[in-house]
């Protein structure tokens, strides 16, 4: 008859072997998370973000730490000569020429189907520019290295769908898209976002000229950029990233100068304005439609063809009144005063398509209506009108002069002032260009 010690030994033995098996499985799993690149070891981890999502990162690990974590499976760790960053969604490869591809494979499998909710969202956000945004997504999916405009979606209203758009970007491109704030973009350490295909900046408000110049330069970058990462030496990667800004500050979220054509700016209406309901399940629905949307993009013909410029699209494909608003807001105080006067002038002289002023008349109008200081000079006015607003003096001739100042003073509403009198040089301002202001 077996004694109590023998029974305990037999009972405990299987449990001990099971623990060893579990330990081996764990260490084997750990080895699969590690790689060696050159002489350095790295581990793929998932780091939680402030938005509640997890982001995949490749972080350095010491050789001894890796040995401790992987045990006898240490020698099974995959080895690479170096890093590369090669985007592809249809023919993805993790290893390219002995190098580790830092770009991540997306898991969606295109499948024919319905994507009504995605389509409705995009039509609501981009309205007349719906075909542009379809081309934008199609190029992101099929030709991710193309240079594309910087997107800015803005509205001071709530319930517009702006944030849902930012999330759609991340749902489609997964680990290759990241949502960050202004502080992350302004940080000296860019390793968290610079290797990504898409960088979504939420609640954007950037008035830092150096950061804006960096973004503009990156938008047309065709070579390598330097990556700064805490605890690692600087290194370079091929850059192909695109920036998308989402803001509640209309007309002032970014410093966009007059004539700048690298930005596609869209003012987003409320859902109610578009006749849509605020659907609490919209993000679940658009996630389910992604395979159908990608199938559509894969088989769709692009509306716009490649232009002979640094951007894929012709400027007319994404030029909007909202971008014009930035142009107007980027000019000097004198230019803004001229625009304000013109906007008022076109309002009171509603039958006029063109307003004409000599330089002296225009300066007098601005001073008399207290839109500029009395010390404002003709040189300042000339710089504002000709260099900033792009309007040149006409040759000497007769013209119709309508004075907003005298209209206010004397309430004369029809055909005010008539002919200018003696011939003079003068500026002509067209309603279609100068009657819309913030």
On whether the CB atoms of residues 142 and 293 are closer than 8 A, the answer is no
In terms of Cβ atoms closer than 10 Å to its own Cβ (0-12, 13-18, 19+), residue 286 is buried
Instruction: Flag whether pLDDT at 436 surpasses 70.
Output: no
Instruction: Flag whether pLDDT at 258 surpasses 70.
Output: yes
Instruction: Flag whether pLDDT at 104 surpasses 60.
Output: yes
Comparison of pLDDT for 243 and 10, the residue scoring more: 243
| Residues whose CB falls within 8 Å of the CB of residue 348, separated by 6 or more in sequence, listed in order | 404, 407, 413
CATH 3.40.50.300 matches 116-327: yes
Q: Minimal CA–CA distance to 297: which of 86, 87, 90, 85?
A: 90
DSSP 94: S
Comparison of pLDDT for 291 and 332, the residue scoring more: 291
On whether the CB atoms of residues 190 and 227 are closer than 8 A, the answer is yes
pTM score, two decimals?
Answer: 0.72
Domain ranges in the chain?
Answer: 30-101, 116-327, 331-434
Give bridge partners of residue 242 from the DSSP assignment: 198
What percent of the chain has a predicted confidence (pLDDT) above 90? 51
Q: How many degrees, rounded to 5, is the angle at CA 154 between CA 250 and CA 272?
A: 110
Question: pLDDT class for 209, splitting at 50, 70, 90?
Answer: low
Q: Minimal CA–CA distance to 230: which of 38, 54, 60, 48?
A: 60
Q: What is the DSSP string of 218-247?
A: HHT--SEEEE--TTS--EEEE---EEEEEE
Question: pLDDT class for 216, splitting at 50, 70, 90?
Answer: confident
Q: How many degrees, rounded to 5, is the angle at CA 259 between CA 391 and CA 238?
A: 165
**What pLDDT does 30 receive?**
85
Comparison of pLDDT for 140 and 211, the residue scoring more: 140
- The residue-averaged pLDDT of 352-375 equals 93
DSSP reduced 3-state for 417: coil
Express each pLDDT in 60-83 by its tens digit.
899 999 888 888 888 889 999 988
Give the mean pLDDT of the chain.
86
Long-range contacts of 385-388 (CB under 8 A, 24+ apart): 385/335, 385/338, 385/359, 385/427, 388/258, 388/331, 388/332, 388/335
Q: Which of 93-97, 245-249, 274-278, 420-424 has the lowest mean pLDDT?
A: 420-424
Express each pLDDT in 155-198 by its tens digit.
999 899 999 999 999 999 999 999 988 778 878 888 889 899 99
């Amino acid at each position: 008859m077996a004694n109590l010690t023998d029974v305990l030994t037999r009972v405990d033995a299987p449990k001990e072997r099971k623990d060893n098996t579990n330990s081996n499985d764990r260490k084997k799993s750990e080895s699969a998370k590690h790689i060696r690149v050159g002489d350095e070891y790295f581990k793929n981890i998932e780091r939680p973000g402030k938005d509640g999502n997890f982001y995949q990162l490749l972080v350095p690990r010491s050789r001894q730490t890796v040995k401790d974590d992987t045990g006898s499976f240490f020698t099974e760790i995959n080895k690479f000569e170096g890093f590369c960053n090669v985007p592809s969604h249809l023919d993805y490869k993790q290893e390219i020429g002995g190098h580790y591809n830092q770009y991540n494979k997306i898991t969606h499998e295109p499948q024919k189907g319905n994507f009504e909710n995605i389509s409705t969202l995009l039509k609501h956000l981009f309205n007349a520019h719906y075909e542009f945004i379809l081309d934008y997504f199609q190029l992101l999916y099929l030709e991710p290295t193309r240079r594309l405009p910087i997107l800015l979606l803005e509205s001071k209203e709530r319930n517009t769908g702006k944030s849902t758009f930012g999330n759609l970007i991340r749902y489609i491109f997964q680990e290759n898209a990241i949502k960050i704030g202004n502080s992350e973009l302004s940080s000296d350490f860019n390793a968290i976002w610079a290797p990504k295909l898409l960088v979504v900046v939420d609640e954007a408000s950037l008035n830092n000229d150096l950061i804006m110049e960096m973004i503009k330069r990156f938008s047309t970058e065709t070579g390598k950029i330097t990556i700064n990462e805490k605890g690692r030496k600087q290194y370079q990667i091929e850059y192909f990233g695109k920036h998308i800004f989402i803001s509640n500050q209309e007309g002032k979220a970014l410093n966009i100068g007059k004539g700048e054509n690298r930005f596609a700016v869209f003012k987003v209406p409320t859902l109610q304005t578009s006749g849509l309901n605020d659907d609490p399940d919209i993000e679940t629905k658009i996630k389910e439609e992604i395979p159908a949307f990608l199938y559509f993009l894969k088989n769709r013909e692009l509306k716009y063809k490649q232009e002979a410029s640094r951007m894929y699209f012709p400027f007319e494909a994404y030029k909007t009144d909202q971008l014009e608003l930035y142009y107007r807001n980027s000019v000097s105080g004198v230019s803004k005063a001229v625009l304000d006067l013109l906007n008022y002038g076109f309002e009171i002289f509603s039958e006029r398509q063109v307003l004409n002023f000599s330089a002296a008349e225009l300066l007098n109008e601005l001073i008399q209506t207290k839109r500029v200081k009395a010390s404002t000079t003709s040189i300042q006015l000339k710089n504002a009108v000709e260099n900033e607003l792009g309007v040149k003096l006409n040759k000497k001739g007769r013209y119709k002069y309508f004075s907003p100042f005298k209209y206010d003073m004397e309430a004369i509403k029809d055909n005010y002032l008539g002919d200018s009198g003696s011939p003079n040089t003068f500026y002509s301002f067209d309603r279609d260009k100068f009657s819309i202001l913030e």
